[in-house]
Structure 1
């Protein structure tokens, strides 16, 4: 067993030697040394090579490359190869194939072509896992185990009969009896009352809308059934391989919403994730920063591992732009700034065939004589110099709450507006604070919120009484709480909290909303300040709100439309803290001014004063600190900083200058 590399920010990526002739391997190992690669993930999609037919195994090629990697001092994150079944398996057992909502069987020929509930598939996967773990548990290259790959990326939800049966068993464990199920699902509506468990089905395509709580529970079930599969593989590994960390790569990017990683994170020895820049987003680099903070929150504030990202273009967007010169290094350091202690790419060598042939890699189609590979080598050298940062943590006085259960509930059918997307408010507030040099933790409502000066509660549509009470408690103890529209609306059973919105937070905020007025695309409402002056506009959402507490101050009101004169944003003192409410998605300038007031009153200080688009984060270990500066703009920037820049490997100060599109990591002092 090889210790995980901690003398540097671990640097490497997904390696697929089985795609290449044997003579390419020697070139790979030479180039890995040149690039400073310290780890590779091996074998992710190699089942058909390891078990070319049922019960017949070929480990010779894997033995050889494992030995070569060990000889070259490269640590291996070894995969169980169970992410995708080989053709012999789907041909012999077509019943393992998933089924879509319309009842169509999804055929093999892609990846993840297996039903998450299939016991047959699980048994075959566990047999392979057992073989691999028994063979390589004490190999000198082995440093980490990688279970499956990107769970639920393509095969969840599955609506087959096997999933239907497992769903019923899951519901029986959750509710105990049909009476409790009927109550939770509100089956008195539309004559949906169940009298036998066999009547219960997944939310398949129906005549119109499915029951919202049924849809929510099916999402919970899907996450749980795959988590159970992960646990089964991890258990097999641990029988053979004690002391070697086990992980699976999450996907904490905005577009992936299938798993509740809050439940998955405690099962990981190391929290790891994949992240790819989605260029179609309005603020793709801000989204990247948000999900670095989200991954750190899942890791309990500890460092985490970036298992996959891209050196340049991906292959799955309608248009796949290349990253500009310097983009590989800057994007990578953004993740390190947010707590990553390992940088992995998909993949080492760009494929010459297959669906991901145009997905960028560390060694591009152009080969090592290319600007992209030279930038990869530069990043490898920087990762080595950043070894002193490994193990340090990120400082944050602001928490943004994030709950996959609330996300699922707000993504369900029959809601007031399809224009409301759960991440929108969270991402907007995080981006505006990031542009002000303020770092946020992104955490679950059930995490310890004590110690934060500001807690943002964005569109927390579903919330338990316990979590609502925790928010109120931290406000009473001195924090500033900022609650957005569509928060506190439903219980964990997806039942409306009656008496007026925002439900669970109504008494805390001193605000009562009688009716919702979502805004169509293109519609805006003027926003007035306390003097009656127009200061901005709201979009997406508005609502008929009234202050019900005498100490509730109107910060913004609607200046146009049917709600003119009604409350749009409020502030209320609560014991030692303050509770704020924002009932619309205000424009950036208006919401930014409100946040300026919040953080000033709360005593939150910026890491550094920087222009919008320049990202600053501080990591700390004891009395040592490192200032990360990522310039995502097209202009050079300057800020006060002194010490040693580990990127350029030069002394700097008292003013640090960072070029347009550049990055610096300053060891302070």
Structure 2
């Protein structure tokens, strides 16, 4: 859980938002640094990340350290009152490391080794990389650990973005050590991996390798364990650097997560407890069908990792990125809406990549706070405006998001669901999670994202989308919640296997069978063009199953297809609560309607009625409620509210007008918050 309040990084006495960027002064002449510092002050910047990729500058040859340039940059920033998020510099090793220790380079699943260049050119299990990276951290920590400008330690950068899985001999040896710790005996490992299948039984530890490409499908339990090992190995690198930092500094320590749609390499539920504060990098992914919705989802996941508390947006883009097939620039006001959406959903700090747009390298066309064109630009004007807004809404910092709906999300289930040899390749975990989340968002619900097995206290409704793999303990946690009076919605392909990808027998959905009061005997995946009619007039695609009622009631039935007449949606009274099961992939309107019905029956406070494309989120604390209204549409609208609007300073008595494409934040102080006004 996040332990250090983001809002107190700059000033322990006065809560405020952090605002800044990655700054790469090594790319610029020293005379530019003073101009940068002046412009940072103009924009309201109070925290910048430096030395993210500084290894080659600090240690040009092994053991030869040069801190003169970094000393000078820190002095400039400190003299201008700008705090520093100081990187350890270990994210990309210098050329000499790869030259002297070629075995430290990463190896892909096809057995080919990658060369030096780009970034993160190292094997996470490499002893040479670990040794030299920790030596560098020791030097940096000793030199700057007590410097008054250093407000936060930034370990490495986007750990595991490119090199999360290495398949070399060094990794294989480390993997075997990890397996010994997990299973102790080969018999236990063989049982967990189901090696009786296809003559895969291991008679000696040294026979076990990393799961490189095979001539047929590989062992799924081995693949799962390798992904767990890889996440743990990267975490071990973080912990090694963290340990050195704590020996020499009392400054909080973190790293930047990558909660995003295209990266799934780390189990961040296991990482989050080791962060002094939780930080995330998020960029709009225009390859997705629901770009804006994914931003809100990622923000809510990050808040979940922070234990429901505020968090830091470590990187985002002022406009376009450089790494998608088509790098779409943000329209006027879009950047401000994006940022305030993160704030509405718990961010107490905002940072961009990067401060000044690079002139060379692969990121030279990535947007920045200060574009190539300079200050007379849409981006710069909005950057300055945003700095002013964050100053005016400082009272929001430290408050918490209000929600009584939870969604269960799990990286390990993501890994397991997306393995091959399943009933259909069309069921992708994140797609199903996004469908459910987007339906809740469209209905106006604010959603807390929680791990399997997490406390569900304070929630009325819990939604579990396609949780294919689940432990007995985590399944019982959901059952206990419902038995005590909670309500749950579970969607298809949930509870099918345990942590070892072993099928739970006796009828699907295995682990949730008793809770849901149903038993499925067979899956009936659909062709991409198939559409099933349902008894309530809605339709379904992709998935169906032969469901038998074992205490549940059929709410909706299939009216077409091979299962016509059979249950499609069920409802089961369980203890003092209710559990719903969706045995098919409902169309968007049908899914929204079902979730709205379940929420209403669970006693969830109904959201305010707003146009499609509008988000309404509350943050609250110390008797104050902040109502965020984010209008992503091109039409103004009115909403009932009362209090002070923080962006304009206007007093709101009964109704608030939210212009097209704008955000409004109403501060309302009351002991008895009324449904009509907030």
Q: Same fold (TM over 0.5)?
A: yes
Q: 2:237 aligns with which of 207, 215, 229?
A: 229
Question: Are 1:143 and 2:145 counterparts?
Answer: no
What are the superposed Cα offsets for residues 263-282 of structure 1, whole Å, 9 maximum, x if unpaired? 10000000001011111111
- How many angstroms does 1:650 deviate by? 2.4
Partner of 1:532: none
Q: Is the 8 A contact 1:4 1:75 kept in 2?
A: no
| SS of corresponding position for 1:219 | helix
Partner of 1:22: 30
- How many angstroms does 1:436 deviate by? 2.2
- How many angstroms does 1:607 deviate by? 4.2
Partner of 1:421: 428
CA distance in 2, matches of 1:514, 1:325: 54
Partner of 2:672: none
Partner of 1:128: 136
Partner of 1:165: 173
What are the superposed Cα offsets for residues 147-169 of structure 1, whole Å, 9 maximum, x if unpaired? 00111100021100000000001
CA distance in 1, matches of 2:354, 2:423: 42
- How many angstroms does 1:54 deviate by? 1.1
Q: Is the 8 A contact 2:278 2:306 kept in 1?
A: yes
CA distance in 2, matches of 1:160, 1:126: 22
Instruction: Spell out the pairing of 1:363-374 with structure 2 (5 A cutoff).
Output: 363-374=370-381
Q: Is the 8 A contact 2:555 2:570 kept in 1?
A: yes
CA distance in 2, matches of 1:280, 1:556: 34
Q: Is the 8 A contact 1:435 1:611 kept in 2?
A: no
Question: Are 1:449 and 2:456 counterparts?
Answer: yes
Partner of 2:264: 257
What are the superposed Cα offsets for residues 602-636 of structure 1, whole Å, 9 maximum, x if unpaired? 11113422122100100000210100111122222
User: Structure 1 stretches of 5 or more lacking a match?
Assistant: 530-534
CA distance in 1, matches of 2:337, 2:32: 30
What are the superposed Cα offsets for residues 324-368 of structure 1, whole Å, 9 maximum, x if unpaired? 100111000000111010001100111111101111110111111
Partner of 2:646: 646
| SS of corresponding position for 1:638 | strand
CA distance in 2, matches of 1:524, 1:364: 49
Question: Are 1:112 and 2:131 counterparts?
Answer: no
Partner of 2:673: none
Question: Are 1:477 and 2:484 counterparts?
Answer: yes
- How many angstroms does 1:432 deviate by? 1.9
User: Structure 2 stretches of 5 or more lacking a match?
Assistant: 1-8, 670-678
What are the superposed Cα offsets for residues 279-302 of structure 1, whole Å, 9 maximum, x if unpaired? 111111111111111111111111
Q: Alignment length, in residue pairs?
A: 661
Q: Is the 8 A contact 1:7 1:384 kept in 2?
A: no
Distance 1:315 1:117, change over 3 A: same
Question: Are 1:72 and 2:92 counterparts?
Answer: no
What are the superposed Cα offsets for residues 486-506 of structure 1, whole Å, 9 maximum, x if unpaired? 110001111000111100011
Instruction: Spell out the pairing of 1:143-542 with structure 2 (5 A cutoff).
Output: 143-242=151-250, 244-529=251-536, 535-542=537-544
- How many angstroms does 1:517 deviate by? 1.4
Q: Is the 8 A contact 2:257 2:280 kept in 1?
A: yes
What are the superposed Cα offsets for residues 472-524 of structure 1, whole Å, 9 maximum, x if unpaired? 01001111110000110001111000111100011111111111112222322
- How many angstroms does 1:6 deviate by? 5.3
What are the superposed Cα offsets for residues 173-196 of structure 1, whole Å, 9 maximum, x if unpaired? 100010000000000000000000
Q: Indicate the larger mover: 126-135 or 19-28.
A: 19-28
Partner of 1:571: 571
| SS of corresponding position for 1:383 | helix
| SS of corresponding position for 1:570 | strand
What are the superposed Cα offsets for residues 6-60 of structure 1, whole Å, 9 maximum, x if unpaired? 5421110100011111111111111101100010011101111111111111111
- How many angstroms does 1:575 deviate by? 1.8
Kindly report the root-mean-square deviation, in angstroms, between the aligned alpha carbons of the 2 structures.
Answer: 1.2
CA distance in 2, matches of 1:6, 1:299: 21
CA distance in 1, matches of 2:446, 2:245: 38
Partner of 2:98: 90
What are the superposed Cα offsets for residues 188-245 of structure 1, whole Å, 9 maximum, x if unpaired? 0000000000111111011110100000000000000111111010000001002x10
CA distance in 1, matches of 2:506, 2:344: 44
Q: Is the 8 A contact 2:190 2:201 kept in 1?
A: yes
Q: Is the 8 A contact 2:164 2:234 kept in 1?
A: no
- Structure 1 segments of 4 or more deviating over 4 A? 1-6
What are the superposed Cα offsets for residues 438-473 of structure 1, whole Å, 9 maximum, x if unpaired? 111000122111221001011111111111111001
CA distance in 2, matches of 1:34, 1:16: 19
Q: Provide the TM-score with structure 2 as the length reference.
A: 0.96
Q: Is the 8 A contact 2:509 2:520 kept in 1?
A: yes
Instruction: Spell out the pairing of 1:605-616 with structure 2 (5 A cutoff).
Output: 605-616=605-616
Q: Indicate the larger mover: 175-184 or 537-546.
A: 537-546
Q: Is the 8 A contact 1:607 1:618 kept in 2?
A: no
- How many angstroms does 1:426 deviate by? 2.2
Q: Indicate the larger mover: 344-353 or 629-638.
A: 629-638
- How many angstroms does 1:2 deviate by? 6.3
Q: Indicate the larger mover: 317-326 or 520-529.
A: 520-529
